[in-house]
Chains A and B, each alone.
Chain A
Amino acid sequence: MSEPLLKVEELRTHFFTDDGVVRAVDGVSYEIRPGETLAVVGESGSGKSVTALSILRLVPEPPGKIVSGRILFKGKNLLDLSPAEMRRVRGKEISMIFQEPMTSLNPVYTCGEQIIETVALHEGLDRRAARERAIEMLRTVRIPAPEQRIDEYPHQMSGGMRQRVMIAMALACRPSILIADEPTTALDVTIQAQILELLKQLQREFGMAVLLITHDLGVVAETADRVAVMYAGQVVEYCDVASAFKRTLHPYTAGLKASLPRLGVRHERLRVIPGNVPNPVRFPPGCRFHPRCPVAQDRCRTDPPLQAFGSDHLSRCWRAEEIAAGALDPVPGEEARRA
């Protein structure tokens, strides 16, 4: 197995607000190997985006602060870099694309201008060479007639086109990791599929790793190699994509899975996980999921460790062993319903 390209170790990012300390990221570890796709899944407020922003050290400070942990990129700790060194990593080594294609391009510049700026910044190309590169990148992201569209303004493009431009910007300097923060959430379903397909193709072409942040298990199933499920600032399950769907070892993951709508089943209420994401200022003691967990026990009021089951499958649940052995159905009634 190859060395991890990026390794997040026990990362803690907290926000110090007037209401108390928000432990948005509380001891998160995961790693990405070259060329692989890691999907980070979780509800809103589970800390998945903050973890990604922490990798790029873009957490707004104050009130946010990376309290402890290490982020090893190609063996060096990004948290030790100076701001200037960090800027050379952003966009050049690790790039990021965002959720909202409507607002992620600056309305006052042409699309080309924004790609050119990035290329000129990191690679020191002169304007003409940078423009050539920008056209080439637009072609790479399958934008038709890139020579013309390079001079268009964002408001002249559709959401899907803008997301392609955003991807072109992010990839213009051939980063080795692309962080995609819910890249398709704001797009309609057909465009979503196109963008995901494009990302997959580009990943193969460029040989880059992708950190995909999403709350959509469907997207995970289609694109990811490995999955990290986050809940309340912690990774609760961490495994390869097949295990996440076939051998779920955490009731939360199982709950997410159960809440997916199923094709061909009519007149059925969508299943939901009862309750809400806990208040991040006062997480419940012990397992943070236990107040919502259908199979919680007294033991769950104490902190469960992130245990390994088999090679490369981690779960933060006291009852994971029982689930692994098939002795416990993490979502009671679900198996019967599926059958």
Chain B
Amino acid sequence: MTERALAEREDVEPVEAAQGLPPQSPWRLFWRQFRRSQLGVAGSVLLAIFYTLALFAPFVAPYSQEEMDRQRFFHPPHRLHWVDRGRFHLLPFIYPTRLEDPGNLTYREDRSRIVPVRFFVRGAPYRLLGLIPSRRHWIGVDPPERLFLLGADSFGRDVFSRLLFGAQISLTVGLVGIAISFTIGLLLGGISGYFGGWIDTVTMRATELLLSIPGLYLIIALRGIFPTDLPSQQVYLAIVAILAFIAWAGLARIVRGMVLSIRQAEYVAAAEALGMSRLRVISRHILPNTMSFVIVAATISVPGYILGEVVLSFLGVGVQEPAASWGNMLNQARSLRVLSSFPWLLYVPGAAIFLTVMAFNLLGDGLRDALDPRRVMGGKTG
């Protein structure tokens, strides 16, 4: 036997041996596939980091999202230094800054003394995860100096802190949104496809009506239903409700189509013949078979919600200041002066949105490849 043939044999054998092993659940098959998609894994790692940071925002952020510093409007991002006058410092430090030109709001580093960056410093009190009271912050400097890792905005608020707190809103809008719209979409699509007849007609005409209105106008019109001066938490819910209300229609149509074909399968007839109720047949036997599609569709549609929130907040009808969201942070970067003189106000939330949307799309592509039924059934990839 040639060496090459031997190598191939080794490739084959584990597969044969695996057939005697305990059954491979679809979950394990999926995982094996998913690991192969490097971009998908990268996307999911990035998202895991983002969501963890958002979850622990009060701890990671040096300041609260509302804390202003009236001495330091539009302060540029601090540069972290390690070397001061030829001496190396193990921990980074910053130089304090002075307002150089009050007209153009430019700052200059004062190299005469250093301000060490401290970790696990005491600062403003908060409740971690809404439960654990604490004053520790991951990073900070001794007052009265301030640390602006990503600069300050027009009110002298720390952009880095606002980015983290804003992530709590911007990153969850998508999750809560798909939770709502997919529940509605799956249920209505499932019922529509399963029962057919006039139920189907009514549901489908409703979705067509919804889909025929341009999305942005619909969002703004729906926003008009709610009063403009809602407290920020209610605005958040309103945004989610609006976006979910628009998004369910497309999904319901696709799910309906899938249900139409799945309900022809004999296991659906078998479930009925074994005495299961219609709701049970739909929820336990039909809809789970649409899951591989739904998971991918959900992942791909999260960015839509994030961008929807951005649009609403950018137009000033979304999350209201002083609460932060990535959308209303971008809103600050509207004027030409800001763009030319204080570009971090654009780049920071812009990059966060870009990376998140990108990561969700990569994850979605990876999931689609891994969940493709033709591949899962074959067991081996081509």
**Interfacial residues, chain A to chain B (CB-CB below 8 A):** 56, 58, 62, 87-92, 95-100, 103-110, 117-118, 121-122, 148, 151-153, 155-156, 166, 169-170, 179
Contact = CB atoms under 8 A, between A and B. Distances in A.
Contacts of A90: 272-275
Interface of B: 22-26, 196-197, 265-267, 269-277, 284-285, 288-289, 291, 377
A27 to B, nearest CB: 24
Given A91-B275, A148-B22, A170-B273, 9 more contacts: A91-B274, A96-B273, A103-B266, A104-B269, A107-B289, A108-B288, A117-B276, A155-B377, A169-B274
Contacts of A100: 266
A87 B291 contact: no
B36 to A, nearest CB: 20
A155 B25 CA distance: 11
Given A108-B288, A148-B22, A151-B23, A121 B276 contact: yes
Contact of A58 (B24, B26, B273): B273
Contacts of B285: 106
A104 B266 contact: yes
A6 to B, nearest CB: 15
10 contacts: A62-B197, A87-B277, A90-B274, A91-B275, A95-B274, A104-B270, A148-B22, A153-B23, A156-B24, A179-B273
B251 to A, nearest CB: 19
B288 to A, nearest CB: 5
B276 A87 contact: yes
A242 B166 CA distance: 82
Contacts of B271: 106
B274 A98 contact: no
A91 B266 contact: no
The 6 residue pairs across chains A and B that have the minimum distance between CB atoms: A91-B274, A91-B275, A90-B275, A96-B273, A104-B266, A106-B267
B68 to A, nearest CB: 54
Nearest to A156: B23
Given A108-B288, A117-B284, A170 B274 contact: yes
Nearest to B276: A121
A20 to B, nearest CB: 19
Nearest to A98: B266
A261 to B, nearest CB: 29
B274 A106 contact: no
Contact of B275 (A87, A98, A152): A87
A56 B276 contact: no
Nearest to A90: B275
Among B274, B276, B289, residue most surrounded by chain A Cβ atoms (within 10 Å): B274
A132 to B, nearest CB: 19
Contact of B26 (A98, A104, A153): A153
